[in-house]
Amino acid sequence: MGGASTAPRVTLSSADVKKLMDVAMRMQRAGQKSHPKYQQIVALLRQYQQQQQQTQTQTQMPPLDVAANPFMQHKTMLFSEKQLEYLHNQIRAYKALCHSMDTAITQAKQLSAAGLNVPMDPNAMDTQPPLPVALEPPALELLTPKWTRAARNLLYIGPNYLDGDLIGIENKGNLAFGPFNVCTPWLGVNDVALKMRYMHTLQQFLTSSLEKMESHTEELDENEQRTLRDLRCVLLQQKLRRRVAKAHTTRLALLGEPSAVDRKSFRRRRPVSRVELQGDEREKRKKSVAMEKKRRADHQMYLKAILNHSREFFAYHKNVKAQVSKSAKAVKGFIDQRTSKIEREEDRQEKLRLKALKANDMEAYGKLVA
């Protein structure tokens, strides 16, 4: 147990871990769980998992944008968490606006049919609101908005005739675009026309507001700067949505599934002959067989590389162990040789002292003793 705890930890990369997992899965399918190599691979994978858990607990995970773009790691975040939450709420409200517009237009038509729609004067927008009129419960239910920006704590910067929950959309459309006549490009009143005009005008207003705020960036306070960032984000999202929609329709058209009716896609084609079909099938079969052979050859090369690596690993450690034992033997022989040499020198001195003592040569004996 002591030797296992003091063994050095192996540092694995993600590529090594993937290779080890593939080898472990193959050995598991082959029923080789009792093989020592399988146990060693499982131990290495557990060690890697423990290291990853320790690093995750020690270091805090970076934000998603920093993980996607490491060059933003040392920069300050453009949006705070509260601003991002606000933008997400604004996007959800924008989607709710698109989904609930048909219902709002239907309610507005019901109100106009009931005679409860009071026309709005463009010159009287900034004046005091009219006095409240007592309404019946059905009309009151129609006038009650299904959702409001105040309930979602959302900010609206726009003209007054485009604010609200789209109740009375016909009057707001007349205030925004003017009355319908023969000269206008909108010749008929329908739900789609009202929706498109409303959305187009809202986008035009957002773009003009962004240009106006960008021309006075030095004079903006904190709230106006936050609104400027929100405008940029919303317009960027609209631009990205248009790009995604265009790329999606283009891809569908390339795959033979056009989003709109295309005359070229419904032309009658000449049927392919059986000989051409057989030739195509033969070519496909040859290509699939060649790809399968290449895959098996690559797999064999991968297995051989793993075996060669294991052989080189064990041979290296065996060579290191032999070199260490050889060095230990050489050191032990050197120490024993020095010890025996000292002992022989002491024996020789002792013999000389005894010889001088027997010869009664006190002068020589004194020199040997000193």
Q: How far apart are CA 142 and CA 325, in angstroms?
A: 95
Is 158 among the domain residues? Answer: yes
pLDDT digits (tens, 9 = 90+) for 201-221: 667 777 777 787 788 777 777
Distance (Å) of CA 340 to CA 302, 327, 336, 347: 57, 20, 6, 11
Domain count, the chain: 3
Are both 323 and 193 inside the same structural domain? no
CA of residue 8 relative to chain centroid, distance: 34
Is 220 among the domain residues? Answer: yes
In 3D space, the residue among 243, 205, 229, 219 whose CA is nearest the CA of residue 83 turns out to be 229
Are both 143 and 230 inside the same structural domain? yes
Are both 247 and 159 inside the same structural domain? yes
Residue 326 CB neighbours (<10 A): 10
Residue ranges in the chain whose pLDDT is less than 70: 1-10, 58-81, 83-202, 249, 252-273, 275-276, 370
Q: How far apart are CA 73 and CA 66, in angstroms?
A: 5
Q: Which residue has the tokens 């009309």?
A: 139
Is 2 among the domain residues? Answer: no
Is 75 among the domain residues? Answer: no
In 3D space, the residue among 178, 181, 143 whose CA is nearest the CA of residue 161 turns out to be 178
Are both 250 and 302 inside the same structural domain? no
Q: Which domain holds residue 192?
A: 81-123+134-260
Is 290 among the domain residues? Answer: no
Tokens of residue 300, six digits: 């064999």
Are both 29 and 155 inside the same structural domain? no
Distance (Å) of CA 302 to CA 28, 82, 366: 18, 51, 82
Are both 182 and 252 inside the same structural domain? yes
Q: How far apart are CA 368 and CA 370, in angstroms?
A: 6
pLDDT digits (tens, 9 = 90+) for 253-301: 666 555 554 555 556 666 666 766 777 788 888 899 999 999 999 999 9
Are both 53 and 30 inside the same structural domain? yes
User: In this predicted structure, what is the pLDDT of residue 296?
Assistant: 94
Angle separating helix axes 169-177 and 191-214, nearest 10 degrees = 50
Are both 100 and 246 inside the same structural domain? yes
Are both 232 and 315 inside the same structural domain? no
User: In this predicted structure, what is the pLDDT of residue 227?
Assistant: 78
Are both 92 and 63 inside the same structural domain? no
Q: How far apart are CA 117 and CA 170, in angstroms?
A: 9
Is 206 among the domain residues? Answer: yes
Is 334 among the domain residues? Answer: yes
User: In this predicted structure, what is the pLDDT of residue 84?
Assistant: 62
Q: Where a domain ends, among 68, 94, 114?
A: 68
User: In this predicted structure, what is the pLDDT of residue 165?
Assistant: 47
pLDDT digits (tens, 9 = 90+) for 24-62: 888 888 888 888 888 888 888 888 888 888 877 766 555
